[in-house]
Structure 1
Amino acid sequence: MRVARTVLIVVVILGGLFVAADRVAVHLAETKAAKQAQLTEGLTARPKVSIEGFPFLTQAATGKLDDVKVTADDINAGDGGQSLRIESFHADLHGVKLSHGYSRAVADSADGLAFITFADLTKAAPDGITVSYAGVSKDGKALVKLSGSIPGIGSRISVLSEISVHGGNAIGLHARPLPTAFTALGLDDDIRQQIDFIRQLTHLPAGIALTSVTATPDGISVAAAGQHVVLAS
């Protein structure tokens, strides 16, 4: 009986040491992956990387992690001088293959969600235009309201615009029928050239593509998904 109890105590101690070693190892791996992801995507702030599942050491020994969660905040996603800020981005990566001492990580598949506030959409819009929540159309399209004064027109305007994904890497606003006060004057093209716009979402993991947009009272949520998604390289 005493031998059995001694063996049990040893097993418990070794198990505790293994768990402690496993948690230390996963913390180091998360930190290294986060640093490399920041470098890979050119982010100003380091993202948070969380490696799910236990034990980590067993997964690491096979060179593949079951699930990894990534959170990044305050991403400057503009391109070509056109600024657009993403307030937050969350991604779940599945089947993440590790190589080069954890400096390279590629997921079999991933899905994510980027959130952009209306304040940041307004900053990305043409000068003088404010973007705000307008609900959902009868055909399920996310709607925003554009209001303000358009340079060269001289009058204030308030229109509903559909917001949607373009080409898998950008979002675009397209105004619904313009007020007759402007169409009657033949100003459709002039106005649309200023209030219809597309902005790219850069600095997201390579291999992930935007799939849909949902409007909320606080901003827009942009869903993304992909295969062979590069977390770090």
Structure 2
Amino acid sequence: MRALRITLVVLVVLSGLFIAADRIALSMAEDEAAKKVKEAQGVAGAESASVSIHGFPFLTQVASKELDDVDVELTGMTAAAGGQEVTVTRVDASLSDVTIGGNFDSATAKEATGEADVSYRDLNAIAPAGVQVAYAGEERAAKNQVKISAKIDVLGREVEVPSPIYSTVKVTEKNTLQLHAETIPGSSIPGAEREIRKNVDFSTTVAGFPDGLELDEAETTADGVTFSLKGKDVELTS
């Protein structure tokens, strides 16, 4: 009986040591993974990155070079749109079935979902000259619309377009953001609608996300636009 108690005590101690070692290894791996994600192609401009690796035990996942679920958060990532650099305020991505490659220097997620936030200030940076994008209130936001104000050139003179103009925000194809006005004030004037739409309707491709991660849908908020993300075979490191 005494031998059994000793054996149980030893097993408990070893189990505790294993768990402690597992948690230490996990913390170190998360820190190192965050550094590699920041250095990865497309996200090198990120202000900060954090990685959370789920599942227990961690060490057995490492041994098999397969992680069940990983969460990645980036802040202040720089993207490109319309020939301009824009700041993506926040990127949250949930990754599943992550395969570690090589000498633990690369990783690929079989599937990914997430969100990315872009402020109105950065939307204005990629809008055509003279066009300003702003929050349109809860009722319009529920329709995924923003408020547009614009000044256009008419025969060499800058003319302010009558407001309000409400534009629907959506993602039309691979990483392409589109704003399209619901109606145009003064559209009864011949040629007026066409001329105004040439300025206030626009689309632009957003680049700079990790390979395999794409914009899916757009949702307007009081602070800007939140994009849902999706992807397959997403490259987490360069």
Q: TM-score range by the shorter chain?
A: 0.7 to 0.9
- Corresponding residue of 1:25: 25
Q: Quote the sequence identity (%).
A: 36
Once the two structures are overlaid, the 10-residue window that deviates more, 220-229 or 195-204, is 195-204
- Corresponding residue of 2:12: 12
Gaps (5+ residues) in structure 1?
none
1:216 to 209, 217, 221: 221
Letter in 1 for 2:26: V
Secondary structure of the equivalent of 2:146? Answer: strand
Secondary structure of the equivalent of 1:43? Answer: coil
For 1:54-93, what aligned pairs fall within 5 Å after superposition?
54-79=56-81, 81-93=83-95
Secondary structure of the equivalent of 1:77? Answer: strand
Q: Using the alignment, how far apart are the partners of 1:30 and 1:118 within structure 2?
A: 32
- C-alpha deviation, 1:227, in angstroms: 1.3
1:200 to 205, 210, 231: 205
Structure 1 residue 155 and structure 2 residue 157: aligned? no
- C-alpha deviation, 1:103, in angstroms: 1.5
TM-score, length of structure 1 as denominator length: 0.88
Letter in 2 for 1:123: A
RMSD of equivalent CA atoms: 2.3
Q: Using the alignment, how far apart are the partners of 2:237 and 2:26 within structure 1?
A: 16
For 1:67-146, what aligned pairs fall within 5 Å after superposition?
67-79=69-81, 81-134=83-136, 135=138, 141-146=143-148
Q: How many residues align?
A: 231
Secondary structure of the equivalent of 2:180? Answer: strand
Does the 8 Å contact 1:108/1:227 carry over to 2? Answer: yes
Does the 8 Å contact 2:81/2:126 carry over to 1? Answer: no
Letter in 1 for 2:3: V
Once the two structures are overlaid, the 10-residue window that deviates more, 209-218 or 102-111, is 209-218
Residues 22 and 126 from structure 1, CA distance in 2 versus in 1: closer, same or farther, beyond 3 angstroms?
same
- C-alpha deviation, 1:220, in angstroms: 1.6
Q: Using the alignment, how far apart are the partners of 1:48 and 1:66 within structure 2?
A: 17
- C-alpha deviation, 1:213, in angstroms: 1.1
